[in-house]
Amino acid sequence: MRSNGFYIESVPTRSKPARSRTGNTIDEKKQAIGSTSTIPGSNLLNRNRNVSDLLADIPRPPDWHEGVPCSTADPDAFFPTHYNDVQTADAKRICAACDVRTLCLQWALDNREEHGVLGGTTPRDRQRIRKEQGAA
């Protein structure tokens, strides 16, 4: 027999106890636990929901958002790290020339959007507008 230079020594192992037949199936595990609500993710199991149903729950941009200037612009301009005048200037300039600016602003207010420059407003601007609308 040819040697590859490695020698493997036999190491004694502990004998494993025989597996019991109880608790091996999902149904038996559920019964052992007592409630499916305690199993992580059980609310997603056996719900007869397919992927399209799950994807339908994810918010999508409104139809009026297609073809507007911000849909092809750099997203970083609309979601800056700080909402100061310098970092929001480009986004506000693009919004000022947009035909659906008022729709965008109303959508942001209706959905209580807390991030991004939308409808030419920052989150702080929209918060002020909501307070003014609530007072009126």
Which pLDDT tens digit goes with each residue over 28-77?
A: 555 555 544 555 554 544 455 555 565 566 667 678 888 888 888 888 89
44 within 8 A of 50, measured Cβ to Cβ: no
Range 102-111 average pLDDT? 91
Kindly state the helix (H) or strand (E) to which residue 27 belongs, with its residue range.
Answer: helix 26-33
Residue 108 pLDDT > 50: yes
Tokens 């807390």, residue located: 114
Give me the pLDDT at residue 46, please: 46
Contact 98, 70 (CB under 8 A): yes
Across the chain, mean pLDDT equals 75
**Residue 33: predicted pLDDT:** 53
pLDDT at 105: 93
Q: What are the sequence ranges of the domains in the chain?
A: 26-56, 63-135
Mean pLDDT, range 97-122, rounded to an integer: 92
Q: Model's pTM, two decimal places?
A: 0.55
Residue 29: partners with Cβ closer than 8 Å, 6 or more residues away: 23, 39
